[in-house]
Amino acid sequence: METNNNILEIKDLSVSYTVANVVTHVLEKVNLTVPKGKSVGLVGESGCGKTTTMRAILGVLPSNANIESGEILFNGTDVLKMPYNQLQEFRQTGAGLIFQDPSSALNPVISIKKQFLTSLKYAHKDKNYSSAQLYDKAIEALNAVSLADPKRIMNSFPFQLSGGMRQRVCIAMTLAGEKELLLADEPGTALDVTIQDQILRLIKNLVETLDLSVIMVTHSLGVIRQVTTEVNVMYAGSIVEGGDTHQVFEHPSHPYTIALMDCLPKLTGTGISEGIPGRIPDYDHPPAGCRFYPRCTYALDRCKSEVPGKTIVEDDHWVACFAAEEGKVCPK
């Protein structure tokens, strides 16, 4: 098998949802790559398909979702084709998901100790660790996420911990399970900003010290800039621009990315701007060409009917936009 340095490669992934016999085509040929030991961002406004992408990776989409096409290669093996046992194994040992709302990831009526040890038992089932060894691993991981008094935490129920503590417990479980890929879906946004900042710094630190690979999902470009080395900008179910975080911030080239950056509150400027006019298109009847076309100030005639391919902007930076390809997009 071809070996490369990517822990995850999503290729042309399309996902729809069926509600009352109506099929909505949400993800449209998503391509996303995570190199080993890197933190990769996925950014876009609410409803663009970020959580759908994360759930697809772990094979935990809701029952009304349909994978129309595509591949999700984890260390070269397609998650979508894994038999059930292998998929369970992948979830227990390969990748872990941290949810936006940390309370939904832990069972409120089972002690942290029981949940932690059960998850570790699965993650290390071929290693024959004793219960005492697993307990020590859990304590070590709780220490690594800077939780004071890990023994008290082990004996607590989730409802006895704060939101920030619960989220740290979830990260510790991923670490102690020695999972290779962390999917962080807006970690900390349900918490106050100081705690959110601490969680983000913790993840960044773990990537640097433990070689963990991360997909950081957020609607905040500030978070992307702080935590990731590569970024993917998603609009209405497609990645429209991607590459090295620094290059994308220096030369944003898709009109949507430019508009998103324009919406960042400016510390020195005129305050919070108005947001991007219009809204994400109706997924039941998406525009035939570029999905951003109806909101785009640079739109050309062909954007209405043709879907743009990738144009290289610079060595590690691409964009899917006809106007950018023709040199007609100029960031302010």
Ligand X SMILES: Nc1ncnc2c1ncn2[C@@H]1O[C@H](COP(=O)(O)OP(=O)(O)OP(=O)(O)O)[C@@H](O)[C@H]1O
Q: Using CB under 6 A, list all residues that contact ligand X.
A: 17, 19, 26, 44, 46-52, 62, 64, 219, 283
How would you write the chain as a 3-class SS string?
CCCCCEEEEEEEEEEEEEECCEEEEEEEEEEEEEECCCEEEEECCCCCCHHHHHHHHHCCCCCCEEEEEEEEEECCEEHHHCCHHHHHHHHHHHEEEECCCHHHCCCCCCCHHHHHHHHHHHHCCCCCCCHHHHHHHHHHHHHHCCCCCHHHHHCCCHHHCCHHHHHHHHHHHHHHCCCCEEEEECCCCCCCHHHHHHHHHHHHHHHHHHCCEEEEEECCHHHHHHHCCEEEEEECCEEEEEEEHHHHHHCCCCHHHHHHHHCCCCCCCCCCCCCCCCCCCCCCCCCCCCCCHHHCCCCCHHHHCCCCCCEEEECCEEECCHHHHCCCCCCC
| Cβ at position 64, least distance to ligand X in Å | 5
Return the one option of Mg ion, ligand X, none that residue 62 interacts with (CB less than 5 to 8 A, by type): ligand X
Least separation in angstroms between CB 52 and Mg ion: 8
Q: Residue 48 binds what, of Mg ion, ligand X, none (CB under 5 to 8 Å, by partner type)?
A: ligand X
Amino acid at 139: I
Given Mg ion, ligand X, none, residue 219, with its beta carbon under 5 to 8 Å by kind, binds ligand X
- Count of residues that bind Mg ion according to CB under 5 A: 2
Residue 36 binding result from Mg ion, ligand X, none, given CB thresholds of 5 to 8 Å by partner type? none
Is residue 228 a contact residue for Mg ion (CB under 5 A)? no
Closer Cβ to Mg ion, 53 or 174, answer by number:
53
Comparing CB distances to Mg ion, the nearer of 51 and 253 is: 51
Partner interacting with residue 255 (select from ligand X, Mg ion, none; CB below 5-8 Å by kind): none
The smaller minimum CB distance to ligand X, of residues 17 and 157, is found at 17
Contact stretch for Mg ion (CB under 5 A) within 51-59, 151-159, 173-181, 283-291: 51-59
Nearer Cβ to Mg ion (51/238): 51
User: Smallest gap, in angstroms, from Cβ of residue 34 to ligand X?
Assistant: 18
Nearer to ligand X, 138 or 200 (CB): 200
Q: By CB under 5 A, is residue 51 in contact with Mg ion? A: yes
CB of 208: closest distance to ligand X in angstroms?
27
Q: Please report, as ranges, the residues that interact with Mg ion according to CB under 5 A.
A: 50-51
